[in-house]
Amino acid sequence: MKPAPFDYYAPSTLEGALALLGEHGYDAKLLAGGQSLIPMMNFRLVQPAVLVDLNRISDLAYIHPGDNGDLLLGAMTRHFQVERSPVIADRTPLLHETMPHIATSQIRSRGTFGGSIAHADPSAELGAVSIALDARIKLVSQRAERWVPANEFFIGMFTTLLEPDEALVEIAFPTLAPRSGCSLVEVARRPHDFAMVGAAACLTLDDKQLCSNARLVFLSVAEYPVEARQAQELLVGNPITPDLIRSAAETAAANDTDPSSDIHATAEFRRHLVKVLTNRVLQNAYEKALRSA
């Protein structure tokens, strides 16, 4: 398999890349790690007329605190850098926990954080985790720059709010509140396969050990990451008990998700997994929140 013909550019500055996007619009694709785009081009599922390679723009690869206390990740930061970063492990442990779930070590050596978010695969972990962590995503063009909350960024399968002349350049993760715990669980047919269903959760407890904030997000149950809003509402303001977790799991399976069938799993089995994984992920997050307190 070979891709359709295309023009190739490798600018050394973000300004140069944005100029190419502004000129070519929908005809252009950005190349980051290439772990998803290149296979799709080889199968001619996508056929860009122009490929803009970001790998020479070293300014887009970084992990450091922002002025307001957020943790900032540049879009070209490789998965393995996030996986091995002591700053990530200390400041955003859910990301540290998530990275080994992403594909294989070979793919993590090339794949990029921003590339995964922008690709918007509904089976990818980082979209769901970014929503669970209340992340914000920075998009820039020659016209302007804007910040988009992660829970508004994904709008369909492989579809986001990115305009054709925009590039995703940075992801900001707020500092976890005290007495918070987060977890990711998933079920796949084999190690390193895409998950049939995955769940990411973050819980925050107040000084009376009542749940003051809850995020529960699923992957592989729709065309984009799904936030279980009704289940979250059940949790907030209440003590986290086994009965409450079971009720949240029932609600998430019955009301918050509507999975479909494919060659990997039936809709019924996926709904069952939603229930099982919600129990696991909320219990894990609650235990971590207690240890944090």
Overall average pLDDT of the 38-66 stretch: 97
pLDDT at 115: 98
* Predicted TM-score of the model (pTM): 0.97
The pLDDT of residue 192: 85
Q: Residue 110: how many CB atoms within 10 A of its CB?
A: 17
Tens digits of residue pLDDT in 130-183: 999 999 999 999 999 999 999 999 999 999 999 999 999 999 999 999 999 999
Mean pLDDT of the chain: 97
pLDDT at res. 126:
98
Q: What is the pLDDT of residue 271?
A: 98
Decide: helix, strand or coil at residue 23: helix
pLDDT reading at 1 higher than 80? no
Determine the pLDDT at residue 191.
86
Q: Could you give the CA distance from residue 113 to residue 160 in angstroms, rounded to a whole number? A: 15
**pLDDT per residue over 94-112, tens digit each?**
999 999 999 999 999 999 9
Model pLDDT, residue 205: 98
Sheet holding 226-227, edge to edge: 180-187, 197-205, 211-219, 226-227
Q: Which amino acid is at 45?
A: L
Q: What pLDDT is recorded for position 234? A: 98
Rounded Cα distance, 107 and 129, in Å: 19
Q: Per-residue pLDDT averaged across 70-92, rounded? A: 97
Report in angstroms the alpha-carbon separations of 12 from 35, 144, 174, 274.
Answer: 21, 20, 30, 44
Q: Bridge partners of 136?
A: 149, 172
Angle at 270 (CA atoms; ends 287, 230), nearest 5 degrees: 55
Q: What is the mean pLDDT of residues 56-74?
A: 96
Tell whether the model's pLDDT for residue 293 goes beyond 90. Answer: no
Segment 40-55 shows an average pLDDT of 97
CA distances from 216 to 101, 178, 183, 246, 285 (A): 18, 18, 10, 14, 10
- Tell me the β-bridge partners of 92: none
C-alpha span between 254 and 230 (Å, rounded): 10
Model confidence over 252-286: pLDDT tens digits? 999 999 999 999 999 999 999 999 999 999 999 99
Interatomic CA distance for residues 149 and 135, integer angstroms? 6
Cβ–Cβ < 8 Å for 183, 94: yes
**Residues 6 or more apart whose Cβ sits within 8 Å of residue 159:** 120, 223, 224
